[in-house]
Amino acid sequence: MYPYTLPSGRQCELREMTGVDEELLTNTRLIKSGDALNQVLRNCLVSLDGKSEVSLTDVLDLLAGDRHFLVVKLRQISLGDELTVSLPCPKCKWTSQVQVNLEDLPVTPYPPEREFTTVLPGSGQTVRFVPLDGHMEKRLAVMPDANITTVMLIRIREIDGAPPTKKQLAEMSRKDRTALRAAMAAVDGDIDTVITTTCEQCGEPVQARLEGEKDFLYLGLG
């Protein structure tokens, strides 16, 4: 078993993925419902904070950064630390190959608080918000029109003491929206899977997320 400390500070033990877990990750019905990853995390979490029977509710209670961290660690213990990343250049279309060691990815811890308040610079409104968790991610996964506003809205508890509305977020000034997203990002724990390089052909900066790679969870397939 493999013990880890999550970005939130919680303790867990993982086992490597099996063929059963791989089949879950390719199940179209489970993917559409947002349950594929949740099922795999439940299967592979041997313990969570000392609890040996981890439920789907326990998995959904996990903060988004913890869940992301677990996906990376599952890849490491199941398929190895090394990953070759293909980064196509948006300018000249040349594809650069970059070698990544997953163990070197930086991890940002969550602060101890689970609720935060920020004052918007334009309107002066006070916004109370929480971190993204698995329950919110599951709801977002089945929304056909999920966008930046939806992701922000799902995390907000109150604006000036009242529940927020989608219209309120859509009409918020760019200055305030930018400040709110920055406040949210500042308290988010996570593992950084963004890889940046320079195109070997034309020198253009190229960026991608590791989990978008076809070999990330399916080594040698694709």
* Residue 220, pLDDT score: 45
Structure tokens at 196: 């940046």
Tally the C-alpha atoms within 13 A of residue 49's C-alpha that lie toward its C-beta.
Answer: 9
Distance CA 142, CA 60 (A): 15
The pLDDT value recorded for residue 142 is 84
pLDDT greater than 50 at residue 221: no
What percentage of the chain exceeds 90 in pLDDT?
A: 73
Q: DSSP H helical segments within the chain, as ranges?
A: 19-25, 28-33, 36-44, 56-61, 64-79, 134-141, 148-155, 166-170, 174-186
Using CA atoms, how far apart are residues 145 and 193, in angstroms rounded to an integer? 25
User: Average model confidence (pLDDT) for the chain?
Assistant: 92
Dihedral pair phi/psi, residue 160, rounded to 5°: 55, 40
CA distances from 175 to 100, 116, 163, 188 (A): 36, 19, 21, 20
Report yes or no: 133 and 151 within 8 Å, Cβ to Cβ: no
User: What is the arithmetic mean of pLDDT over 192-201?
Assistant: 91
pTM: 0.92
The per-residue pLDDT for range 130-171, each reduced to its tens digit, is 999 999 999 998 888 888 899 999 999 999 999 999 999 999
- The average pLDDT across 205-209 equals 89
Q: Which of 111-125, 133-147, 170-184 comes out lowest in average pLDDT?
A: 133-147
> What would the pLDDT profile of 28-74 be if each residue is shown by its tens digit?
787 677 788 899 999 999 999 999 999 999 999 999 999 999 999 99
Reduced DSSP (H G I as helix, E B as strand, rest coil) percent helix, strand, coil of the chain, to 5? 40, 25, 35
Q: Can you give the residue ranges of every domain in the chain?
A: 2-81, 111-188
- Residue 222 has a pLDDT of 40
Q: Are 122 and 198 in contact (CB under 8 A)?
A: no
